[in-house]
Structure 1
Amino acid sequence: MNKLNVLIVEDSKPILQIHKHLVTNAGFNPVTAETFAEVKALEHMFPDFFCAIIDYSLPDAPNGEAIPYLLDHNVPGVVMTGMIDDETRDTILNLPVIDYITKESKQAYTYLQHLLVKLRVNHLIKILVVDESDDSREYLKRLLNRHNYDVILASTGAEAIAQLEKHPTIKLVITDKELPNMDGIELCNQIRSKYSKDEISIIGLSGADNPALTAKFIKNGANDFLTKPFCLEEFYCRVLQNIEFIESVETIRRQANTDYLTGLYNRRYFFEKVSPEITKRFDGSTNSTLAMMDIDHFKSVNDTYGHDAGDEILKATAQLIQQHFSADYLAARIGGEEFCIFLDTLARDEATLLLDNFRQEMENMSVEVGGNTIKCTISIGVAHCCEDSFDGIMIKADELLYEAKEAGRNVVITD
């Protein structure tokens, strides 16, 4: 991805340097202005700015004049200021700014960098907003759009359930309590009957003056609750916190299920996913296709070039496996230089052709490591059969892999 420009409007040189550093670390290209006049001189670049970090008080604009100017010119703004009085805060938050950060501590700068990183990827995050009121839905959408979220709208609980089925990657649902036919609390129950708290977060909203609503929402499956009208800063913090919870769970799950070196699924995950399918198909007398593959003479690569070179060979092989198989089939590194691919119910001849094309590309692949050009081949055993257990089909594929090794390696052997 090309680096995007971020405008830094700041008259303090030490803070300007800090901002340039964190903007760069967040993956952006910093462009600076120390006065309002310099900001105006950059007007020709405004369409190229991802956003601006705007100091409230400048030598020639002491009352925040640069903020509405940039917003009016469609440059989204994060306001940073040393002024922490409530009047200034309210004035800024009445403008459509991305966020308002006070320069009270080092943590403010950490938060700013984290915000920039999130703003860059938030377009990948889907949020479902459920509210009967057109005005309320649009208001929440505008708030979330400031942070670049992909917002989906629903006016009823039934419509919300339909949207969740249509968009399975939704990470957060924000729902008002007052909905027609099915209120927000019942909607929470409905969502939780299909999705766990690890899969989707829910924030309940209500304008009712009822302290018990928080507990009711949370006891019925919500992760969080806000009373309307809410503080904008709190709203954004709650949204971010709930999305990051889902992302953290996804990261833990991904790390638990994948091989750290190659990024392919690991042995445990592969067994858990494939084993039930093999058992189910045995009951229906349906053949499954499983390929076992092993990099030829891999030990000699480690002995000759070192284990770092061996790791590079493993990673290059895994990348090739992903290119050939990951879109349609399940592939895993099951140990050392051994890989396994579950080819579902693919016919024997089709599987053999597919795997032999992969074998040929592996044979032609070169890996450059430490000034050395390393080439490797791979042997493959393919079982196409109906077994009563995963171990049964694995043993057959492994026996065929052994035959491939005995036949001189760099070959595909099928049953």
Structure 2
Amino acid sequence: MNKILVVEDSPVVLKVLKHLLSQTASFSPVLCASYEEAKLVLTEEGGEPFFAAIVDLHLPDAVDGEIVDLVLSLSIPCVVLTGTYDDALRLSLLNKGVLDYITKDSRYSFNHVVSVIERLRKNQSIKALVAEDSSTSRLFIKALLEQYRFNVIAVENGQEALSMLESDPDIRLLITDHNMPLINGYDLVRMLRQNTRFQDLVIIGLSAEGDNALSARFIKMGANDFIKKPFYHEEFHCRVIQNLESQEMLETIRDMGAVDSLTRLRSRRYLFDEGQAFFDKQAAKPEGVGLAMIDLDAFKQVNDIYGFMVGDALLKEMGEQMLLSFPEALVARFSGEEFCVIDEGGASFDTKLQSFMSVLRAMTFTEAKIPMTSSIGVFLTQDGGLEEAIKIADARLYEAKSRGRNQIVAG
């Protein structure tokens, strides 16, 4: 849980921010109505550190924005929410290191504040790569990204950038200068977009040289955006966030058919579209491939007794447990309460299945504390097709059920 400090003398604004922040399970708002109250909270020994702060500039006991200096001195990301707009003051605060300066002119303002904090939380899991041959610019851009909690790697030229991207598949954002030695920014973008592996990489080009034709060339070659140097850091942050969120939305739309909306496991559609490749990869290993069809025993009774909402909650918890039990496997919701697991075969697969059965027997699910067991059919092979393996494992699953349930049949 991330603690968010909110310092505001208006009870109404405090109530609104508390409500909006509390809607996100990751945030725990701590409310203060004055500078002194906030100071006590911030300097409390042994307290959990704050993830971020939302502060009003003009407090009854600190009318000149002293709360901003206090928060920044403790290295806490700070968003200013104020009732008046002053451009000179805004620039001064942004230069100090404030994340954003937002005026209380509509309900959207409060939603925007929370979206900035939520973006910080998301950015913690995003790796960004900066390719820039100027050490001054490289350090400046790195600092701007770190201010928004990105994990940043910096390199000096396009060749190093290409090598880093090939070795680290977790990099999701590339900021590249155009004029670099070995491989320039334009050629780097061209090379990356020729490889489907980098189709989801967000790329933003930079240059102090050239005209509008250069920005057009970058974007036509596949860059998501282009920024002319020198730029102001507020524009830089807006462009980065806007492009990331657009890419995330595209990925969400694309993944809707690949992920089961309830359990967050892979969908049946994904299993049949992409599962054969994963099946073949596992089959090529010395131990071969293992495929298990898993069905929850007497699940219909859960829906009949407790209702479909409790049944859905149970399936959701089951999905979480299956991901924990088979971390390297392809786990899909096949239909209803039936699941499919594809993993490396041999003794290790049997061990994982036995462990899963033991964990399941010891657990109770949902607030209703429902006990649950499963029946499992298993097929081990070193060749063959996915559909045939599913057919055989499914037949063994129903044999397990006919034998009394709560057991594994492997042939």
Alignment TM-score, normalising by the size of structure 1: 0.85
The structure-2 alpha-carbon separation of the partners of 1:106 and 1:308, relative to structure 1 and needing over 3 Å to count, comes to: closer
* 1:338 lines up with 2:338 in the alignment: yes
TM-superposed deviation, 1:59: 5.5
The structure-2 alpha-carbon separation of the partners of 1:12 and 1:356, relative to structure 1 and needing over 3 Å to count, comes to: closer
Preserved contact between residue 128 and residue 173 of structure 2 (Cα < 8 Å): yes
Preserved contact between residue 284 and residue 382 of structure 2 (Cα < 8 Å): no
Preserved contact between residue 6 and residue 32 of structure 2 (Cα < 8 Å): yes
Q: Tell me the equivalent position of 1:6.
A: 5
Amino acid at match of 1:358: F
The structure-2 alpha-carbon separation of the partners of 1:119 and 1:312, relative to structure 1 and needing over 3 Å to count, comes to: closer
* Distance in 2 separating the partners of 1:162 and 1:356: 42
* Distance in 1 separating the partners of 2:227 and 2:297: 60
Preserved contact between residue 322 and residue 331 of structure 1 (Cα < 8 Å): yes
Q: Tell me the equivalent position of 2:325.
A: 324
**Number of residue pairs matched by the alignment:** 407
* Distance in 2 separating the partners of 1:280 and 1:68: 56
Task: Kindly report which structure 2 residues correspond to 1:28-39, keeping only aligned pairs within 5 A, or say none.
Answer: 28-34=28-34
TM-superposed deviation, 1:287: 4.7
Tell me which of 394, 397, 404 is aligned to 1:401: 397
* Distance in 1 separating the partners of 2:42 and 2:398: 69
Preserved contact between residue 352 and residue 414 of structure 1 (Cα < 8 Å): no
The structure-2 alpha-carbon separation of the partners of 1:273 and 1:286, relative to structure 1 and needing over 3 Å to count, comes to: farther
The structure-2 alpha-carbon separation of the partners of 1:221 and 1:350, relative to structure 1 and needing over 3 Å to count, comes to: closer
* Distance in 2 separating the partners of 1:203 and 1:316: 39
The structure-2 alpha-carbon separation of the partners of 1:45 and 1:140, relative to structure 1 and needing over 3 Å to count, comes to: farther
* 1:155 lines up with 2:151 in the alignment: no
Structure with bigger gyration radius: 1
Q: Tell me the equivalent position of 2:407.
A: 411
Q: Tell me the equivalent position of 1:185.
A: 186
Q: Tell me the equivalent position of 2:352.
A: 354
The structure-2 alpha-carbon separation of the partners of 1:220 and 1:77, relative to structure 1 and needing over 3 Å to count, comes to: same
Q: Tell me the equivalent position of 1:173.
A: 174
Q: Tell me the equivalent position of 2:97.
A: 96
Q: Tell me the equivalent position of 1:111.
A: 112
The residue matched to 1:112 in structure 2 has which SS?
Answer: helix
Preserved contact between residue 352 and residue 382 of structure 1 (Cα < 8 Å): no
The residue matched to 1:139 in structure 2 has which SS?
Answer: helix
**Which segment is superposed worse, 139-148 or 242-251?**
242-251
Q: Tell me the equivalent position of 1:208.
A: 209
Q: Tell me the equivalent position of 1:249.
A: 250
Preserved contact between residue 202 and residue 222 of structure 1 (Cα < 8 Å): yes
* Distance in 2 separating the partners of 1:138 and 1:378: 55
* Distance in 1 separating the partners of 2:366 and 2:39: 50
Q: Tell me the equivalent position of 2:274.
A: 273
Preserved contact between residue 54 and residue 78 of structure 2 (Cα < 8 Å): yes
Runs of 4 or more consecutive aligned structure 1 residues displaced over 6 Å after TM superposition: 279-286
Preserved contact between residue 4 and residue 54 of structure 2 (Cα < 8 Å): no
* Distance in 1 separating the partners of 2:280 and 2:61: 75
For structure 2, the 5+ residue unaligned runs are none
Preserved contact between residue 379 and residue 401 of structure 1 (Cα < 8 Å): yes
Amino acid at match of 1:129: V
* Distance in 2 separating the partners of 1:392 and 1:207: 59
Q: What's the C-alpha RMSD, in Å, of the aligned pairs?
A: 3.2
The structure-2 alpha-carbon separation of the partners of 1:175 and 1:377, relative to structure 1 and needing over 3 Å to count, comes to: same
The residue matched to 1:80 in structure 2 has which SS?
Answer: strand
Task: Kindly report which structure 2 residues correspond to 1:383-394, keeping only aligned pairs within 5 A, or say none.
Answer: 383-386=379-382, 388-394=384-390
**Which segment is superposed worse, 39-48 or 328-337?**
39-48
Preserved contact between residue 352 and residue 412 of structure 1 (Cα < 8 Å): no
TM-superposed deviation, 1:38: 5.9
TM-superposed deviation, 1:413: 1.7
The residue matched to 2:52 in structure 1 has which SS?
Answer: strand
The structure-2 alpha-carbon separation of the partners of 1:368 and 1:274, relative to structure 1 and needing over 3 Å to count, comes to: closer
* Distance in 2 separating the partners of 1:269 and 1:324: 20
The structure-2 alpha-carbon separation of the partners of 1:135 and 1:329, relative to structure 1 and needing over 3 Å to count, comes to: same
Name the % identity: 38
